[in-house]
Amino acid sequence: MPKITVPERGTFEVENGKKLVLALEDSGVHILHRCGGNGRCTTCRVEVLSGEFCDLTNVERDAFSEKGIEDHLRLSCQLRVNGDVTVRPIMMVENSGMDAGPKPAE
């Protein structure tokens, strides 16, 4: 099983192929996902510190371009975990004052 490491939060084993946003949430990392995992709000963005994901998706590219977000970040709702990774969530419930949003679909 792949492992996700979140600095200062821990390392978690997750099901292979699981959406990153759900893997984080299920592991107790309260990442935002205000649009329900549809790649529109960009609140679920993460910085990938180590490990790899597929290339930037068109959904990510469009959302980042529209909102002027740095292209080294990724949307956790658009990524599936297929290997060990270390990520740093950018927006979390604890540092935003917002509720997480609707749970994304698997």
3-state secondary structure of 65: helix
Q: Please tell me the total count of domains within the chain.
A: 1
Q: How far apart are CA 27 and CA 39, in angstroms?
A: 21
**Is the distance from CB of 71 to CB of 6 less than 8 angstroms?**
no
Say if 102 falls within a structural domain.
no
The β-bridge relationship of strands 73-75 and 45-50 is antiparallel
Q: How far apart are CA 39 and CA 34, in angstroms?
A: 10
CATH number of the domain bearing residue 65: 3.10.20.30
Say if 24 falls within a structural domain.
yes
Say if 53 falls within a structural domain.
yes
pLDDT at 4: 98
Q: How far apart are CA 37 and CA 43, in angstroms?
A: 9
Tell me the pLDDT tens digit for each residue of 9-49.
Answer: 999 999 999 999 999 999 999 999 999 999 999 999 999 99
Q: Which residues contact 46 (CB under 8 A, 6 or more apart)?
A: 20, 24, 31, 73, 74, 75, 76, 87, 88, 89, 90
Tell me the pLDDT tens digit for each residue of 30-39.
Answer: 999 999 999 9
Tell me the pLDDT tens digit for each residue of 56-100.
Answer: 889 999 998 888 887 789 999 999 999 999 999 999 999 998 999
Say if 81 falls within a structural domain.
yes
Domain that residue 65 falls in: 3-96
Read off the pTM.
0.93
Say if 105 falls within a structural domain.
no
Say if 106 falls within a structural domain.
no
